[in-house]
Amino acid sequence: MSHWLYGFPHIDSDTLFLIKHRIDDGFRAFTGAYGDGISAFFLPLDRFLIGVDFVLTKTPWPIVILAFAGLIWLATHAWRIVLSTVVIFVLIGLFGMWNDTMLTVAMVVVATTLSVVVGIPIGIAMSRSDVLQRVANPVLDVMQTMPSFVYLIPVVMLLGIGRVPGLIAVVIYAIPPVIRLTNLGIRLVDRDILEAADAFGSSGWQRLLNVQLPLALPTIMAGINQTIMMALAMVVIAAMIGVEGLGQPVLQAIANQYFTLGVFNGLAIVGIAIVLDRASQAYGRRLQKHIDVQHA
């Protein structure tokens, strides 16, 4: 009689088995019926990704490094960051990881772009509706705490193994910060300034474009920075479902106990992370220049 205190009395195994099976079967049936359609729907993403891959891997490396240096200079106006970028890229090239790095960078760029394009409108919608905010917050919590591997399963069931499923898994994992901080940034906009915009007869759009988004931009940039970092982390995990790049050699290193291979590729990822983090933060600070002082 007392044994039920020591082992939690769970639903009996047959029933549990049945439940899991039913759900999986249902999902499989759904995939079977609609999988092709869904794949077709994501085709443009595939094209986009292939395009960016192509540009980064087929352009002569000096031009790529120059282009990155130029972009980062435009965004940050900070020589130190530009210089470290060049050094990091040269080191990566010297150690023979140029191609994989470009594939990873391409993935991060595309995933971040997609997260921003989808996430900002969702964040804006959340900022306008308290109901939506109450509904969306727990969903975002789940998305951020769910172990990232779990995302791979339904994505693979739906779309199989490859670039696009990997991209989608990365976006799902990386999108919450943009959404959250867009919502937060807009909600924190000074009410007095909004009132002034209203007093001059601004429409909802004029309010959004002239006041809310520009004043929320530093906060949104902080969200984008986090999204980039999370995308980079997930790109490695997504290697398990066939995403090419620096993640593949890491997996290989784990399987074969190639310590040095693992460390080199790991360091390359760290290098990219530093470049992207510093560049996006410095850019965010530059945006903030005229806004922050006002609040102080």
Residues that bind another protein (CB under 8 A): 190, 192-193, 195-203, 206, 210-211, 214-215, 290-291, 293-295
Give me the least distance between CB of 135 and another protein, in Å please: 23
Q: How many CB atoms lie within 10 A of CB 78?
A: 17
Residue length, the chain? 296
* Dihedral angle computed from the Cα positions of residues 202, 205, 207 and 212, in that order, rounded to the nearest 10 degrees: 180
For another protein, the closer of residues 45 and 217 by Cβ is 217
**Smallest separation, CB 293 to another protein (Å):** 4
Whether the CB-CB separation of 180 and 125 falls below 8 Å is answered with no
List all residues 6 or more positions away from 49 whose beta carbon is below 8 Å from its beta carbon.
106, 107, 110, 163, 164, 167
In the complex, least distance from residue 296 CB atom to another protein, rounded to whole angstroms: 8
Sequence-ordered list of residues with C-beta below 8 angstroms from that of 165, at least 6 positions apart, any chain: 152, 155, 156, 158, 159, 241, 242
Q: Considering the complex, what minimum distance in angstroms separates the CB of residue 117 from another protein? A: 23
Question: Quick check: 112 and 172 in contact, CB under 8 A?
Answer: no
Q: Which is nearer to another protein, 131 or 199 (CB)?
A: 199
**36 or 292: whose CB is closer to another protein?**
292
- In the complex with another protein, the residue whose CB is nearer, 206 or 252, is 206
